[in-house]
Amino acid sequence: MEGPLGKLYDMPATVLMIIGLVLSAFLFYSLMKAAENGNLLMVILLAVSISIVAFVVSRAIKHQKIKEL
């Protein structure tokens, strides 16, 4: 697959899951800090970024499973 996510799609699924887990944990921690400070805009942006990370990881794993067939 070509494009900016091409190398990401070719990584092993376990590595993708670990990267997604670490990135999501950091973003969730930042989301909680922004919520403590009362910054609604950052809370919304961080929630959207967490969902984007989950979407990219799920698409990469789906691409790998389709490639196996």
| Domain spans in the chain, listed from the N-terminal domain onward | 6-68
Question: What pLDDT is recorded for position 1?
Answer: 54
Write the CB contacts of 60 (distance below 8 Å, at least 6 apart in sequence).
Answer: 5, 8, 9, 11, 16
pLDDT over 90 at 69, yes or no: no
CA dihedral (7, 3, 29, 47) positive or negative: negative
Q: What band does 55 get if pLDDT is binned at 50, 70 and 90?
A: very high
